[in-house]
Amino acid sequence: MKAIVVGAGVVGASVAYRLAQAGADVTIVEERRPGGGTSSVTYAWVNACEKLTSHAYFRLNFAGRQAHEAILAEFPGADWYHRPGVLQWQDAEAEAGGRDGTDPLSKLRQLVEWGYPAEVLSLDDVRKLEPDLAPEAIGNAPVIHYPQDGWLDPVPYAGALVGAAIERHGAQFMEGRAERLVLAGDRCEGIVLADGRALTADVVVNCAGRWLNEFIERPEHRIPLAPTLGIVAYTPPSGARLHSALRTPLVNMRPDGGGRFLLRSNELDRLLETDEGAVPAHPQAQELMRRAAKTIPALAKVQVEAVRIATRPIPKDSYSAVGPVPGLGNYYAVVTHSGVTLGAFLGEAVADELVNGRSREELAEFRPSRFFN
């Protein structure tokens, strides 16, 4: 099978690697660089504990977490997956109004019932784990600890998988922008690149993230997206101590290598109107730094070093869309929020479906067909 994978973010790199490993003749088409899209501007928490809106979505994300653990065996020495644990004293669904805010531990009970490693820590235990955290930042809120959670470095991950697809399994990497699909009746036969090159294939797998629809000419083949903006601020190296990732009402923050911290907040994301002006003086970046210093007072004199803004690729109903698009043969789309969590699993699942002919039931509720009559 000849496959074209458009996009080499955390999702496309995973898909290309697994397709090539399964025996497909893979060409990866990437207009920037592996991991250079939204995958380079993300909190990258690999988790299922924020995915409680449906059991199927929880299971899908749990499979994502397991796949990230499993793939490490194929990459000895890989250091892209950090699992020091995550501390949370804010519930994303309660924040969004989707859960009864009067019972902050209802989430924990649900997670424990579904087999997710999670526990409540006392303030003393929190201080032993993270001595630089300000107790006032926590107040009386119950702190949930996910001892096995952590984050991925998506760009090294994408680079390693693209490299392995090429070196181990004969994939080709082509720098360029897919401009349109080549259609023959109701089938897709390949793509045309912006520089005029035409590539043919038995299947085109669209992993272009937030740009998914930009080279899909016919509206009836486009998956409706509801993208949102996110801003991430980075500190310079500092001596402040923080080992876990934090999910808190003020700020979400975690180590980002070399003593740097990565900061973000859903609340501040919602104030963004444009992806322009990603500089340290950006008001949301300044506010993130202020909130980080309230959380870890040792950061009081630290300034924002860098800022990035990205657009999340989110299907209209917020759930993943993975599979064929009705009325267009030989075309397969893979677009999702939480692509970092799901990337490794989606690679396996897409290869199973396209090369091994095995439909994956984890994806049954997440087909693009739900958007089309």
Ligand X SMILES: Cc1cc2nc3c(=O)[nH]c(=O)nc-3n(C[C@H](O)[C@H](O)[C@H](O)COP(=O)(O)OP(=O)(O)OC[C@H]3O[C@@H](n4cnc5c(N)ncnc54)[C@H](O)[C@@H]3O)c2cc1C
Applying CB under 6 A, the residues found at the interface with ligand X are: 6-12, 29-32, 36-39, 41-45, 177-178, 207-211, 214-215, 230, 232, 264, 310, 312-313, 336-341
Q: Minimal distance in Å, beta carbon 12 to ligand X?
A: 5
Q: Which is nearer to ligand X, 77 or 181 (CB)?
A: 181
At closest approach, how far in Å is the CB of 314 from ligand X? 8
> What's the closest the beta carbon of residue 40 comes to ligand X, in angstroms?
7
Backbone phi and psi for residue 223, each to the nearest 5 degrees, phi listed first: -90, 125
Nearer to ligand X, 134 or 194 (CB): 194
CA distance 14 to 249: 33
**Smallest separation (angstroms) from ligand X to the CB of 278:** 12
Q: How far is CA 319 from the centre of its chain?
A: 13
Q: Which is nearer to ligand X, 204 or 207 (CB)?
A: 207
Q: Which is nearer to ligand X, 37 or 104 (CB)?
A: 37
In the complex, minimum distance from the CB of residue 333 to ligand X, in angstroms, rounded to a whole number: 11
2 vs 127, beta carbon nearer ligand X? 2
Q: How far is the CB of 172 from ligand X (least distance, A)?
A: 14
Q: Which of 17, 45 has the CB closer to ligand X?
A: 45
Smallest Cα–Cα separation from 39: which of 249, 364, 360, 344?
344
CB of 260 to ligand X, least distance (A): 16
- DSSP assignment string, 96-154: TT-S-TT-TTHHHHHHHHTT---EEE-HHHHHHH-TTS-HHHHTTPPEEEETT-EEE-H
Q: What span, in angstroms and rounded, lies between the C-alpha atoms of 366 and 301?
A: 46
| Angle subtended at Cα 256 by Cα 162 and Cα 59, rounded to the nearest 5 degrees | 65
Q: How far is the CB of 14 from ligand X (least distance, A)?
A: 8
In whole angstroms, the minimum distance from the beta carbon of 244 to ligand X comes to 14
Nearer to ligand X, 37 or 140 (CB): 37
The crossing angle, in degrees rounded to 10, of helices 154-169 and 339-354 is 20
- The rounded distance, in Å, linking the Cα atoms of 215 and 220 is 13
**Whole-number Å distance between alpha carbons of 97 and 101:** 8
What burial letters (b/e) apply to 232-248, b meaning 16+ CB within 10 Å?
bbbbeebebebebbbbb
- Shorter beta-carbon distance to ligand X: residue 136 or 195: 195
- CB-closest chain residue to ligand X: 9
Best CA proximity match to 319, nearest among 130, 84, 54: 54
Looking at beta carbons only, is 284 or 295 nearer to ligand X?
Answer: 284
Tokens representing residue 273 in the block: 């109107």
Parallel, antiparallel or unpaired: strands 25-30 and 172-175: parallel
- Least Cβ distance, residue 43 to ligand X (angstroms): 4
Rounded (10°) angle between helices 154-169 and 10-21:
20
Judged by beta carbon, residue 124 or residue 289, the one nearer ligand X is: 289
